[in-house]
Amino acid sequence: MNVSLVLIVVMAVLFACGVYAMLERSLTRVLIGFLLLGNATNLLLLIVMGQPGVAPFFGTAASPDEMSDPLPQALTLTAIVITFAVSAFLLALIYRSWQLGQADTVVDDEADRAVREGTADVDEAMDDETEIEDTDDDATTDFVGTDTAPIRIVGSRDFAGLRDDAPVDRAAPPRDRDGRDGGDGS
């Protein structure tokens, strides 16, 4: 396998720059680092593929050694799709962060600082959270009653012009041999 040293060096530089950019506080730099990691992964799969050969479905190769390996090609396509999907998610995250705070940097809060300094008692914090969850489950939901729920169920009794002919999952009343409803004496 004759692989160009230039491809290996470029791949290593892309991996290093991508990891360095992902360690920053700015979400835009995290996105750029992730894109660099995705491109480095594609280069890695290109290097692993080996020498180009005949496509396996043509059938013109005299031996299997002359065919190219389709697995790295499939993995490259998968890596491209995954990189695109995560990049779209990160772009949405960056946009929402910019809408809320006019900045795309992640800021430490008090709990983060306490964990970094080693002064936080993690077990006690976890116990506090479970106590809050156990005390009142209704208080932690967004919509407590049907009056505050964003979706209102509308039926035929609410509007005179609404005909409610949707199928229901109720058992039909039993019928006698003549096709009339039975059981009520009519």
From the number of C-beta atoms within 10 Å of its C-beta (0-12, 13-18, 19+), residue 45 rates as buried
Lowest mean pLDDT among 93-97, 138-142, 170-174: 138-142
Per-residue pLDDT of 53-71, as tens digits, reads: 777 777 777 777 777 778 8
Confidence of residue 47 (pLDDT cuts 50, 70, 90): confident
* Alpha carbon distance 171, 184 (integer Å): 16
Domains of the chain: 5-56+67-106 (1.10.287.3510)
Give the DSSP H/E element, type plus range, for residue 38.
Answer: helix 27-49
Per-residue pLDDT of 92-108, as tens digits, reads: 988 888 888 787 777 77
Tokens 């936080």, residue located: 120
CA 124 centroid distance within chain: 31
How many H-runs (helices) and E-runs (strands) does the chain carry?
A: 5, 0
